[in-house]
């Protein structure tokens, strides 16, 4: 019987992958894109000096 954290962690937890699988990665990326769209739209509405500069630069 080993010692330390690994020995105390339930087997089901140890078998869980820590890196997202392909299906999960697609969902996470989709979520990131949706968030970006929403966040940037709201940030542009705020029209802080920084965002104004960026918008002007884009134009």
Partner 1 sequence: MIAFTLTQAARALGVAQHKLIHLCEKKVVVPDVRDARGRGSSRKFSKRNLFDFAVALEMRRLELPVSFVHAVLRVLGTFELEAKKMLRGFALPESLLAAGGPRLALIILDGERVYFSVATAGHHDRAFGGIAIHPAARGRAQHRSAGRLQQAEMANALAAARARVELDLSRIARDLEEQLEARSSS
Which spans of this chain sit near partner 1 (rule: CB under 8 A)?
A: 12-13, 15-20, 23-25, 27-40, 42-46, 48, 50-51, 53-55, 57-58
| Six token digits for residue 8 | 């105390």
Q: 7 or 59, CB closer to partner 1?
A: 59
Q: How far apart (Å, rounded) are the C-alpha atoms in residues 31 and 39?
A: 12
Q: 1 or 23, CB closer to partner 1?
A: 23
Residue 6, φ and ψ in degrees, nearest 5: -60, -40
Q: 1 or 41, CB closer to partner 1?
A: 41
CB of residue 33 to partner 1, shortest distance in Å: 5
């Amino acid at each position: 019987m080993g010692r330390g954290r690994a020995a105390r962690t339930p087997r089901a937890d140890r078998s869980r992958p820590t890196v997202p699988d392909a299906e999960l990665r697609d969902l996470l990326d989709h979520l990131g894109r949706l968030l970006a769209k929403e966040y940037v739209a709201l940030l542009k509405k705020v029209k802080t000096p920084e965002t104004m500069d960026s918008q002007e630069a884009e134009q």
